[in-house]
Chain A
Amino acid sequence: MNKDVIVAEGLTKRFGDFVAVDHISFQVEEGEIFGFLGANGAGKTTAMRMLCGLSHPSEGRGIVAGYDVYGQSEQVKKNIGYMSQKFSLYDDLKVWENLSLFGGIYGMPDKKIREKTNLLLGELGFQDERNTLVKSLPLGWKQKLAFSLSIFHDPKIVFLDEPTGGVDPVTRRQFWELIYQAADRGITVFVTTHYMDEAEYCDRVSIMVDGKIEALDSPFLLKKSFGVETMYDVFLQLARKAKRSDN
């Protein structure tokens, strides 16, 4: 049996009277690609911040990579990778300098940083861009670099927050191939997206409505149980029930 690398039990976050995340419970297995969907304002970002050790839960428990998100948040941060749509790259640093900086922040030894840099640039076909400033890379390349950087320190889990927003359709698909490669290497992928076709690429998908997880299953079984053809229709049915006034 596979090991659970994320466990949430009744995870809750309150801001005053407002319950942003309302007792969510789920597990994510090692090597799984887990899609975390929901309408704007459903509580996805808050839940993700708690799982990354950036925000303390008001109630409940979260275990990520074997560490408690409340008591061991520094250990959690060391063992996860994170990439957002805003790509946390330094535009005014060269490609190798970005890699070196991130490796250093995660406490990787210099020798290992050098080895991994060579390996990674080779895999991405970026050898000639080693000394290029990140700001002069095309957007699609930046995205690939940002993803590689988020797993540079060999984390157990990588959190991807709308990683494909705004990129062109071909690059978007190539990006998912990188995600598959990472999952094949045993890295667990926790991803949010507003593209419903991408929900189909996940092993399992959860859909949040008003702070609660209203559905969680493989895309195939979700479509079957809702009696619809696409994940978009599943999403539509659930999101329509939302009462929270984002709109």
Chain B
Amino acid sequence: MEIVSVRNLKKSYGKVQAIRNLSFDVNEGEIYGIIGPDGAGKTTLFRILTTLLLANEGAATIDGLDVVKNYKQIRKQIGYMPGRFSLYPDLSVEENLTFFATIFNTTIQENYHLVEDIYKQIEPFKTRKAGKLSGGMKQKLALSCALIHAPKVLFLDEPTTGVDPVSRKEFWEMLKNLKKHGITILVSTPYMDEAILCDRIALVQDGEFMQVDTPQNIIDSYSETIWSVKSDRMHRLLQDLRDCPWVKTTFSFGETYHVTAKEKATVSQLETFLTEKGYRDIIIKAIHATIEDCFMSLTQKKE
């Protein structure tokens, strides 16, 4: 059953169309990832859904409630963690959490089971002012504050931006645990490797969803032939691959290049081409696309 429903949503800032005619549904209890770069419209969408911004056209409901008419009821039922740290820097860790519990007419004790896993990691510092916390601790406090009133739907706007890979992994573990409590989570991120941790994802660019599906289905629907290519002299290889008649696109992926091949091209053709150019230690493998390959392919189709 869908708990978030969006129909023909549009929002412009002057000439800039931040959201272009978006329609989608989020099912109850799922982790729904909105994946795309800065400027794609992620924050605008979150602000509309959390009743903080009015759309120009279209409609959206949260648990059947309209984001414009029923905004007061919606605010009781959602939790929102904005991209920018928005807690009170001059209040202590505990005071911040108490404050958010109180304005929602509840107490820390009442919903402690929801935040326990996260909050207990910062509880040793509960008398420290929030402004004096490190980045990772701020993130955990912000998540605790967004959860303390037991919301049905949680909106997390780029919770892992600027966070190192290990802490990002830990954060996703926390989200998986929250899912067990039945909370629906909408989360936005510019990191493509996080897509795989969501139940469903929307790949977003320029205010439009390019594709919406499970990560696996998106990977399976990738239609190009894709190879990873490696050799000596990697630096020069990039240009030669781009000039190669069998190759459509070449992008660097860590220590290899991901190459999409033209129709009917074969691995041995490319190998011959590179051998004739004098490359050694050539390794060409047929691979499965990653979400990042899918994203790049979709943006290029659009252009």
Contacts and interface: CB of A to CB of B under 8 A. Distances in A.
Q: Is chain B found bound to chain A in the same assembly? A: yes
Interface of A: 38-41, 85, 138-139, 162, 165-171, 173, 176-177, 180, 194, 196-197, 200-201, 219-220, 230-232, 235-236, 239-240, 245-247
Given A235-B165, A240-B166, A246-B167, A173 B252 contact: yes
Given A138-B39, A173-B251, A200-B254, A165 B190 contact: yes
B162 to A, nearest CB: 6
Contacts of A39: 164, 166-167
A58 to B, nearest CB: 20
A205 to B, nearest CB: 12
B136 A167 contact: no
Interface residue tally on B, bucketed by range: 35 or more
Contact of A239 (B166, B254, B296, B300): B166
B282 to A, nearest CB: 17
Interface of B: 36-40, 121, 134-137, 140, 161-168, 170, 190, 192, 205, 235, 238, 251-255, 292, 295-296, 299-300
Nearest to A198: B254
16 contacts: A39-B164, A39-B166, A39-B167, A40-B167, A166-B38, A166-B161, A166-B190, A169-B292, A173-B251, A173-B252, A194-B162, A194-B165, A231-B254, A235-B166, A245-B134, A247-B136
A26 to B, nearest CB: 20
A139 B251 CA distance: 20
Contacts of A41: 134-136
Nearest to A172: B37
Contact of A168 (B135, B161, B299): B299
Contact of A247 (B137, B165, B205, B295): B137
B162 A162 contact: yes
Most buried by B among A139, A180, A236, A247: A247
B165 A200 contact: no
B135 A219 contact: no
Contacts of A138: 39
Contacts of B254: 196-197, 200, 230-231
Given A139-B39, A173-B251, A197-B254, A168 B205 contact: yes
B289 to A, nearest CB: 12
Contacts of A200: 254-255
Contacts of B299: 168-170
Contacts of B164: 38-40, 194, 235, 239
A236 B38 contact: no
A166 B255 contact: no
Contacts of B40: 168
A35 to B, nearest CB: 12
Given A236-B165, A246-B134, A170 B296 contact: yes
B165 A232 contact: yes
Given A41-B136, A165-B190, A139 B167 contact: no
Given A165-B162, A170-B300, A247-B121, 15 more contacts: A39-B164, A39-B166, A40-B134, A40-B163, A41-B135, A138-B39, A166-B161, A167-B190, A168-B36, A194-B163, A200-B255, A231-B254, A232-B165, A246-B167, A247-B140
A246 B295 CA distance: 32
B270 to A, nearest CB: 20
Nearest to A143: B38
A240 B165 CA distance: 11
A180 B235 contact: yes
B288 to A, nearest CB: 16
A201 B252 CA distance: 9
A168 B298 CA distance: 12
